[in-house]
Amino acid sequence: MKSTHPLRLVRALYHSVAGFTALWRQEQAFRQEIYAAVIMLPVLYFLPIIALAKLVLIFLWWLLLIVETINSSIEAVIDRISLERHPQSKIAKDMGSAAVALALIMNVGAWLYVLIPLFVRP
């Protein structure tokens, strides 16, 4: 079994922080999702729902941020390869955008599923 050198962990942390910094500076959608999380996630504390539902909503928000990060990575690589318009580049960027849209739809759907019964009583 191979041991992990502590310096490797420090380098990995450095690269992760650099990635978060790039996301924050360059990706408006990421910033908007963080702002929404800062508002919405504390609301969970006050909602009269079970802990598992709260956990699922938190995980779905993390998933959205993960998908946004991967989409931004795809876009960065494509732009690095070439800034000229190419049909395959468009397809890759559109697919990444579609993944973000699916994660966002999943989030909105889950929040509505949890919140609507709290405010609409039969």
Active-site residue among 27, 33, 68, 84?
Answer: 68
Quote the DSSP letter at residue 5: P
CA separation for the pair 74, 27 (Å, rounded): 13
Q: What DSSP state is assigned to residue 3? A: P
Closest alpha carbon to 67 in 105, 41, 117: 105
68 catalytic? Reply is yes
C-alpha distances (whole Å) from 88 to each of 61, 92, 117 are 30, 6, 44
Catalytic positions: 68
